[in-house]
Amino acid sequence: MMTEERLMLREQISALADGQLEGERFAAVVGKVGGDEEARDSWQMYHLIGDVLRSGEAGACMHDRAFLARLRTRIEAETVAPRMSVPALDAPERIAENGPSALGKSQESNDFRHAANDGAYRWKMLAGLATVVAAAALGWSGLGGHARETQLAQGTVSSPATVASASGSGVAVMLRDPHLDALMAAHRQFGGPSALQNSSGFLRNATFDMPLSRGSGQ
């Protein structure tokens, strides 16, 4: 069993790997990584995951069965509990009421969340995706992201309209709104993220997962 302290250390190493720690906290974690075999393993693991995601060229790792086996074991052992309950499709009200308080509960991880929101990526959060992406052999370079969204979206990989606020105002709203889903779909009809190439835009829009039940908004 993994102790609370171990988990904490991994969080810190993940933040360190993203260059988010400074001053005393930086020194403390560097000290731990330098003097602890297991911490050093974690440090390497986060970088390997990052490497696979970023470059798509970490061939050495991808061919290394032992590495993959270790990675899988680690991912299984390390499923991060969602910071916030994932809203059910039919309960937007509940979320509307509970949203702010539920967010409040995630304050314990505030340091990391805040740091990650600054732009760097917490590979740990994507660890579950790492094997998927590696298997797809898709070249990834510099995926950025909001850790908060990543956290929120963890249980909802196939629910694109699980919406997390990323506005600068700091107001975090979480809603699963079928009406908004429908409007986003209507908007996508006109080119989507970029009319850069209609075909590409069209592929993107058709590939984007639709809400599981279209009729629920009425």
User: Does residue 183 bind other proteins (CB under 8 A)?
Assistant: yes
Among 9, 12, 33, 84, binds other proteins (CB under 8 A): 33
Query: What are the angstrom distances between the C-alpha of 10 and each of 40, 86, 141, 151, 184?
Result: 10, 24, 24, 16, 38
182 in contact with other proteins (CB under 8 A)? yes
Confirm or reject binding of residue 158 to other proteins (CB under 8 A): yes
How many residues touch other proteins under the rule CB under 8 A: the total is 95
Q: Is 206 in the site for other proteins (CB under 8 A)?
A: yes
Is residue 87 a contact residue for other proteins (CB under 8 A)? Answer: no
Q: Which listed range, 72-80, 81-89, 106-114, 146-154, lies at the site for other proteins (CB under 8 A)?
A: 146-154
Q: What is the spatial distance between Cα 17 and Cα 123, in angstroms, rounded to a whole number?
A: 9
- Contact between 104 and other proteins (CB under 8 A)? no
User: From the CB of 90, what's the least distance to other proteins, in Å?
Assistant: 15
Is 11 a binding residue for other proteins by CB under 8 A? The answer is no
Of 6, 30, 82, 89, the residue at the interface with other proteins (CB under 8 A) is 30
What is d(CA 111, CA 130) in angstroms, rounded to the nearest whole number? 24
Residues 186-205 that bind other proteins (CB under 8 A): 186-187, 189-200, 202-204
d(CA 86, CA 99): 10
Question: Is residue 70 close enough to count as binding other proteins by CB under 8 A?
Answer: no
> Can residue 165 be called a binding residue for other proteins (CB under 8 A)?
yes
| Helices of type H across the chain | 4-17, 23-35, 37-55, 59-62, 65-77, 92-105, 110-117, 127-136, 147-153, 178-188, 198-207
Contact call for residue 59 and other proteins (CB under 8 A): no
Q: Render 139-200 in DSSP notation, one character per residue.
A: --------HHHHHHHGGGTT-TTEEE---TT----EEE-HHHHHHHHHHHTTTTT-TT-HHH
Task: Closer to other proteins by CB, 2 or 144: give it.
Answer: 144
Under rule CB under 8 A, residue 19 binds other proteins: yes
Ramachandran class of 164: left when φ > 0, alpha when ψ lies in -120 to 50, beta otherwise: beta
